């Protein structure tokens, strides 16, 4: 035992031999560390309560941001089998032990309705949801009407239903198409939203029937409050956007992407719109370059390019409005399907941060976000979401400008600040996620900053706070000891240094029955939301960093080791 003690003494840098001197030095180090710790504030507030194994301060709890973890893309196989139950159960229990609030999972259209129109098979997902519920975790379910495979981070292939693709063999214009005629089979073109081409149904009707079937077959999980969020896929990668930068067609970062409106249905709609505007001669852009061009190499996006002309502005307004109406139509059907359920409906907006600092914002424009220095391309989407009582889920929360290559003229921090500010001004809730896997303090701290841009408020809810954050994603790498220890601290900081709280009402997230959507918003009101406004101010860094916390946790472990040796 004496040898063991000597070994510990050599390993602990705080220790030096000497009884009272040791105690005095340890006490000094603890005090100094607490002074450095940004949020060692819980002990200053006398509102701490205990519930079961959880302990939290009721005032600080109002700063709590729930954290969810995205399950693997192929947790249900393409053949509709849930086959990794034992491994997943252990991982879910480990995640629950560190305090996460729930999980998010793709519910793939290509799996569920694979056998034929309206032939839904929910059995594998019911088994998955049962396991998640038994692990005491909430569920965010994504209505994934897109293909898995071909996007950044896709590691499995799950196409949209074969019987839908078969229709595309005879009518390839059901798919998004670029100017060169390349078809993208990842998601149906919004040009067929109201075309009855699918056994008498339109695309919107197929999505609606799918969501109604989900509600019927998952009614027990919905009624039990296990499913709390329905995220509605509205495009490529489940995001409300055009598939403007497909890796399957050769795109690489930071290419500007291409407009995706050259199928016969969208071409016809544009010609009709141009004719009604008094310009029947106008055609879709033919000068916007190809996927991997830079903005200044194109006539459309260069300085004083086509995008600033009357014709260019008309096209971009039409292109972006079509996307907004697409999202509006699908969310209206989602609201009808889940009205009365105690859930939130949400949709995801993509974080296209490259070329954000270029005058043209080219990558955003090709994706359908008509965002310029003098025009807000995101607040109109937030206004649409507001009529459906929906949450906006935004990506790239982890990214910092300095991490991006200078030639890409990226601005992820400014982009997040703009989008979140606009959504909050529309009085809707905002959630978010990281775009790429991160296991480091810098990534976590940037997420924490965006989750509470003005920091923690000791005596109540902060003025700005995200509704929730989803971490991408559950993987073996996450569970490596070093990564998981830091993730544990990240969860704690998301919760404002409070224990896991099972009652969302305690941090202001009461879930009442979903109300029916409000009346449609006029085009004039939508365009009114494009007026640029100054974003809310952001702190330079989070006041609850995981790196400082990790150091303090290490110090605590060292102190406990000393106590166990000398103060038994």
pLDDT in tens, 308-318: 999 999 999 99
The mean pLDDT value of the chain amounts to 90
User: Which neighbouring-strand residues pair with 259?
Assistant: none
Q: How far apart are CA 337 and CA 328, in angstroms?
A: 14
- Cα distances from 381 to residues 331, 524, 525, in angstroms, run 12, 14, 12
Residue recorded with tokens 């890796």: 247
> Is the confidence at residue 21, as pLDDT, over 60?
no
Lowest average pLDDT, out of 86-90, 179-183, 549-553, goes to 549-553
Q: How far apart are CA 327 and CA 234, in angstroms?
A: 6
More confident residue, 563 or 323: 323
The number of residues making up the chain comes to 568
Q: How far apart are CA 130 and CA 566, in angstroms?
A: 48
CA dihedral 303, 307, 309, 313 (to 10 degrees): -150
> Is the confidence at residue 542, as pLDDT, over 50?
yes
Are 174 and 168 in contact by the 8 Å Cβ rule? The answer is yes
Q: If you write DSSP's letter for every residue of 142-199 in order, what string do you get?
A: EEE-S-BSSSTT--S-BPSPHHHHHHHHH-GGGEEE-TT--EEEEEE-GGGTT---BT
Confidence of residue 15 (pLDDT cuts 50, 70, 90): very low
Per-residue confidence (pLDDT) for residue 29, from 0 to 100: 44
399: left (phi over 0), alpha (psi -120 to 50) or beta: beta
Query: Of 445, 431, 491, 484, which Cα lies nearest the Cα of 99?
Result: 491
> Is the confidence at residue 200, as pLDDT, over 70?
yes
435 is in an annotated binding site: yes
Are 286 and 179 in contact by the 8 Å Cβ rule? The answer is yes
Residue 204 host element (H or E): helix 203-217
416: left (phi over 0), alpha (psi -120 to 50) or beta: alpha
Q: What is the pLDDT of residues 518-541, one digit of tens each?
A: 999 999 999 999 999 999 999 999
Query: Is the torsion defined by CA of 219, 220, 221, 222 positive or negative?
Result: positive
Confidence of residue 381 (pLDDT cuts 50, 70, 90): very high
Q: How many CB atoms lie within 10 A of CB 87?
A: 10
Query: Of 288, 313, 423, which Cα lies nearest the Cα of 363?
Result: 288
Lowest average pLDDT, out of 155-169, 392-406, 408-422, 542-556, goes to 542-556
Residue 355 CB-density burial (10 A; 0-12 exposed, 13-18 middle, 19+ buried): buried
Confidence of residue 152 (pLDDT cuts 50, 70, 90): low
Query: Of 254, 261, 419, which Cα lies nearest the Cα of 349?
Result: 419
Are 120 and 213 in contact by the 8 Å Cβ rule? The answer is yes
Confidence of residue 50 (pLDDT cuts 50, 70, 90): confident
Q: How far apart are CA 282 and CA 401, in angstroms?
A: 38
* Token pair for 271: 């010609």
End-to-end CA distance of the chain: 14
Per-residue confidence (pLDDT) for residue 563, from 0 to 100: 41
Q: What is the pLDDT of residues 421-448, one digit of tens each?
A: 999 999 999 999 999 999 999 999 999 9
User: Which neighbouring-strand residues pair with 391?
Assistant: 346
Q: What is the pLDDT of residues 390-433, one digit of tens each?
A: 999 999 999 999 999 999 999 999 999 999 999 999 999 999 99
Q: How far apart are CA 487 and CA 490, in angstroms?
A: 5
Q: At what angle do helices 546-566 and 441-451 cross, to 10 degrees?
A: 110
Per-residue confidence (pLDDT) for residue 151, from 0 to 100: 64
Per-residue confidence (pLDDT) for residue 168, from 0 to 100: 98
* Residue 357 CA to its chain's centroid (Å): 22
Residue 550 CB-density burial (10 A; 0-12 exposed, 13-18 middle, 19+ buried): middle
- The percent of residues in the chain predicted with pLDDT above 70, rounded, is 86
Active-site residues, by number, are 239, 433
196 is in an annotated binding site: no
Contacts of 480 (CB under 8 A, 6+ apart): none
Per-residue confidence (pLDDT) for residue 547, from 0 to 100: 83
Contacts of 60 (CB under 8 A, 6+ apart): 41, 42, 45, 456, 458, 496, 497, 498
More confident residue, 202 or 154: 202
Q: What is the pLDDT of residues 83-132, one digit of tens each?
A: 888 999 999 999 999 999 999 999 999 999 999 999 999 999 999 999 99
Are 287 and 298 in contact by the 8 Å Cβ rule? The answer is yes
Per-residue confidence (pLDDT) for residue 2, from 0 to 100: 35
Mean pLDDT, range 19-36, rounded to an integer = 42
Contacts of 403 (CB under 8 A, 6+ apart): 442
473 is in an annotated binding site: yes
Q: If you write DSSP's letter for every residue of 86-99 in order, what string do you get?
A: HHHHHHHHHHHHTT
348 is in an annotated binding site: yes
Per-residue confidence (pLDDT) for residue 7, from 0 to 100: 37
Per-residue confidence (pLDDT) for residue 564, from 0 to 100: 46
Q: How far apart are CA 268 and CA 480, in angstroms?
A: 54
Q: What is the pLDDT of residues 259-304, one digit of tens each?
A: 999 999 999 999 999 999 999 999 999 999 999 999 999 999 999 9
> Is the confidence at residue 254, as pLDDT, over 90?
yes
Per-residue confidence (pLDDT) for residue 150, from 0 to 100: 64
Phi, then psi, of 283 in degrees rounded to 5: -120, 170
Per-residue confidence (pLDDT) for residue 300, from 0 to 100: 98
Mean pLDDT, range 229-255, rounded to an integer = 97
> Which residues of 199-293 form beta strands (DSSP E)?
227-232
């Amino acid at each position: 035992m004496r040898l063991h003690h000597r070994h510990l003494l050599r390993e602990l840098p705080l220790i030096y031999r000497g009884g009272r001197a040791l105690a005095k030095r340890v006490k000094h180090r603890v005090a100094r560390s607490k002074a450095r710790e940004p949020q060692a504030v819980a002990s200053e507030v006398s509102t701490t309560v205990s519930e079961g194994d959880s302990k939290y301060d009721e005032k600080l709890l109002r700063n709590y941001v729930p954290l969810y973890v995205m399950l693997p893309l192929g947790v249900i196989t393409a053949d509709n089998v849930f086959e990794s139950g034992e491994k997943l159960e252990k991982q879910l229990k480990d995640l629950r032990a560190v305090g996460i609030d729930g999980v998010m999972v793709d519910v793939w259209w290509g799996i569920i309705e694979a056998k034929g129109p309206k032939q839904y098979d929910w059995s594998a997902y019911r088994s998955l949801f049962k396991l998640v519920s038994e692990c005491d975790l909430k569920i965010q379910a994504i209505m994934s009407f897109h293909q898995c495979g071909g996007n950044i981070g896709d590691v499995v292939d799950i196409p949209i239903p074969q019987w839908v693709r078969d229709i595309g063999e005879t009518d390839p214009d059901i798919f998004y198409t670029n100017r060169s005629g390349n078809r993208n089979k990842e998601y149906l073109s919004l040009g067929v939203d109201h075309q009855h081409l699918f056994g008498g149904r339109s695309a919107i009707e197929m999505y609606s029937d799918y969501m109604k079937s989900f509600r019927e077959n998952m009614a027990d999980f919905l009624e039990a409050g296990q499913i709390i969020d329905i995220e509605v896929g509205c495009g490529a990668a489940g995001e409300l956007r055009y598939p403007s930068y497909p890796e399957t067609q050769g795109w690489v970062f930071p290419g500007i992407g291409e407009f995706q409106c050259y199928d016969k249905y969208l071409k016809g709609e544009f010609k009709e719109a141009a004719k009604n505007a008094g310009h029947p001669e106008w055609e879709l852009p033919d000068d916007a370059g190809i996927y991997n061009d830079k903005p200044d190499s194109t006539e459309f996006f260069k300085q004083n390019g086509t995008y600033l002309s009357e014709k260019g502005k008309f096209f971009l307004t039409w292109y972006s409005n079509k996307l907004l109406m697409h999202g509006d139509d699908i969310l209206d059907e989602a609201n009808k399907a889940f009205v009365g359920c105690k859930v939130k409906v949400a949709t995801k907006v993509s974080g296209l941060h490259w070329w954000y600092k270029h005058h043209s914002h080219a990558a955003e424009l090709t994706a359908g976000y008509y965002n310029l220095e003098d025009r807000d391309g995101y607040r109109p989407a937030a206004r649409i979401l507001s009529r459906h009582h929906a949450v906006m889920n935004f990506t790239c929360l982890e990214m910092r400008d300095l991490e991006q290559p200078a030639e890409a003229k990226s601005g992820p921090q400014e982009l997040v600040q703009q989008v979140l500010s606009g959504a909050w001004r529309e009085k809707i809730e905002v959630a978010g996620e990281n775009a790429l896997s991160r296991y480091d303090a810098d990534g976590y701290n940037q997420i924490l900053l965006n989750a509470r841009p003005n920091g923690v408020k000791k005596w109540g809810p902060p003025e700005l706070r995200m509704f929730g954050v989803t971490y991408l994603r559950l993987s073996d790498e996450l569970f490596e000891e070093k990564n998981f220890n830091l993730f544990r601290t990240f969860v704690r900081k998301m919760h404002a240094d409070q224990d896991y709280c099972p009652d969302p009402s305690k941090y202001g997230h009461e879930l009442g029955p979903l109300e029916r959507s409000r009346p449609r918003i006029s085009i004039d009101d939508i365009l009114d939301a494009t007026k640029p406004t100054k974003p809310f101010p952001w702190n330079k860094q989070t006041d609850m960093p995981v790196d400082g916390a990790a150091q303090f946790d290490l110090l605590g472990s060292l102190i406990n080791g000393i106590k166990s040796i000398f103060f038994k």
